[in-house]
Amino acid sequence: AQKVTQAQTEISVVEKEDVTLDCVYETRDTTYYLFWYKQPPSGELVFLIRRNSFDEQNEISGRYSWNFQKSTSSFNFTITASQVVDSAVYFCALSEAGATNKLIFGTGTLLAVQP
């Protein structure tokens, strides 16, 4: 069975601190896709990144970076020099193999960045 675990329910940091959000996944498929979404207080889910199982290169986008390690089934997300605007719930998700394109979500991590 496929599953996504985000063990950190809430994280609180002070502005300018670095913070890492953990994501561990389970799947029997050799081809799969991993995603991160941000949900600000307004409610909509904002797409951040998509990574396929064949590409283990880490990615950096501004203050955001992602570390994908198949050996530990992890896809962790780091925010460098956090800002108050980063406060949100962050979801990690796994796309099932096959033609359905369905997403399986973790329970999310609430990040609170204090000024």
- The contact set with other proteins (CB under 8 A) reads 4, 9, 31-33, 35, 37, 42-47, 50, 52, 91, 95-103, 105-108
Nearer residue to other proteins within complex by CB, 35 or 77: 35
Contacts of 71 (CB under 8 A, 6+ apart): none
**What amino acid is encoded at 16 in this protein?**
K
Report whether 21 contacts 109 (CB < 8 A): yes
Q: How far is the CB of 16 from other proteins (least distance, A)?
A: 28
Question: Token digits for 60?
Answer: 């950096």
Q: How far is the CB of 22 from other proteins (least distance, A)?
A: 15
Q: How far is the CB of 45 from other proteins (least distance, A)?
A: 4
CA dist 66 and 61 (Å) reads: 9
Nearer residue to other proteins within complex by CB, 18 or 59: 59
Nearer residue to other proteins within complex by CB, 12 or 17: 12
Tokens 């996944």 sit at which residue? 25
Q: How far is the CB of 95 from other proteins (least distance, A)?
A: 5
Question: Token digits for 63?
Answer: 């203050």
